[in-house]
Amino acid sequence: MIDLAKARILVTGADGFIGSHLVEALVAAGSNVRAFVQYNSFGHWGWLDQAPESVRSAIEVVAGDVRDPTCVLDAMRGCNVVLHLAALIAIPYSYRAPGSYVDTNVTGTLNVLEAARALGVERVVHTSTSEVYGTARYVPIDEEHPLQAQSPYAASKIGADQLALSYQRSFDVPVAVIRPFNTYGPRQSARAVIPTIITQIAAGATVIRLGALHPTRDFSFVADTASGFMAVARADAAIGQVTNIGSGFEITVGDTARLIAELMDREVRIEHEDARLRPAASEVERLFADIRRAGETLGWTPAYGGAEGFRRGLQHTIAWFSDPANLMRYRQGYQV
C-alpha cells in the first residue's frame, strides 16, 4: 500500500480535463506533485492555469512531450509514483489523424514504461478508456469483456493498455490499469456530449443539435474518476489488473439531453445532425460499467453513482459552464 501523502507523484497530461482535477485532489491529499504538461510556446499550463493559487504554488510544473523518451525520463526522475494520463482522446479527430494517436497513445506510453523500468518506480497507473470495450456484448461490462476497437482512438488505447500490462508481466514493472467510463464535469472539452448540450443551452439555443441519441453511456463525475485514480495508485492489489471506474448507471444520450434541459429549466427541441455522427460501424451503442472489482479490491465506490448522483454531478457541471467567464472559453459549435 502506497501512502500518497508521502509520495512524489508525476502526473502526465496534468494540463487536461481529468489531469487537472486529479492534480487538485492530490494536492488536497498532501501529495508532492510534479505536473507534466505539453510544451507550447505560450507557456500555458492548460487547465492548471485556472487552478487556485494554493494548488499552483504547491506543484512543480514540467513542460515537455510524452512522445520524447528523454523528456519523459527527465520528468520522472525522483518520482516514485506515475499517473499516466497524457493522450489524444478526441474520437472524431482520430479518423482524420490516426498516426498521431499511435505516436502519442502507444509510443508515448512506451516511453513512460521504459522510463519507469529504468528508474525503478513503485507504481505506474496507466489510463485506459471504456471505448476499448466497443458496443457491449453483455452488461454490466466487467473487466473480462472482449476488447473491440471501433475507432482508431480505441485501437490506440487497446495497444497502449496491452503494452502497459506486458511490462508488468515481462519486466515486473508495477503497472495498474484504470479504465474510466465516460467522465464528465467542469472543464471538459466541448467536443464531449454533456458540455455540448450545456453550452448550447447556456448560450440561449432552443434547438439542440446532437448526433446519435439512442446510445447509452455510463457517465462518471470527474471527482469520482480522480478518487478512482488515487485508489488504484494506493492499492497493491491493483498491480497487473484492469479496474473499471464508473457510476453503475446507464442513460441514453437523448435522455441525458432532456435531463440537462430540465435541470437548466429550459424548453428545448433536440435535432439529429448527421455531421456529428460517427461512421455507422464505429458507433459504440452501449456502455454500462460493472464496478464490483473497484469496490472489492480497492474499497472504492462512486460518490456520484446512480441516477441521483448523476443529477448532482450534472448540477455541478451546469453551474460551472453557466458562469459567463467559463462559457466564453468555449467556441460554440466546436465538435473536435
Say what angle helices 222-234 and 17-28 make with each other, to 10 degrees.
Answer: 60
Separation between Cα atoms, residue 205 and residue 266, nearest integer Å: 10
Enumerate the H helices of 132-263 as residue ranges.
Answer: 152-171, 193-202, 222-234, 253-263
Are 32 and 8 in contact, with CB atoms under 8 Å apart? yes
Whether residue 334 lies in the annotated active site: no
Separation between Cα atoms, residue 240 and residue 237, nearest integer Å: 8
Total residue count of the chain as it appears in this document: 336
**Catalytically annotated residue among 101, 133, 153, 167:** 153
Separation between Cα atoms, residue 142 and residue 158, nearest integer Å: 16
Enumerate the H helices of the chain as residue ranges.
Answer: 17-28, 53-56, 69-76, 91-96, 98-101, 108-119, 152-171, 193-202, 222-234, 253-263, 292-293, 306-322, 324-327
Cell of 311: 443529477
Helix (H) or strand (E) holding 177: strand 175-180
Phi, psi of 321 (to 5 degrees): -70, -25
Separation between Cα atoms, residue 266 and residue 200, nearest integer Å: 11
What residue has cell string 471504456? 130
Those residues whose C-beta lies under 8 Å from the C-beta of residue 302, and which sit 6 or more positions away, are 220, 221, 224, 245, 246, 247, 248, 291, 309
Enumerate the H helices of 30-149 as residue ranges.
Answer: 53-56, 69-76, 91-96, 98-101, 108-119
Positions marked active-site: 153
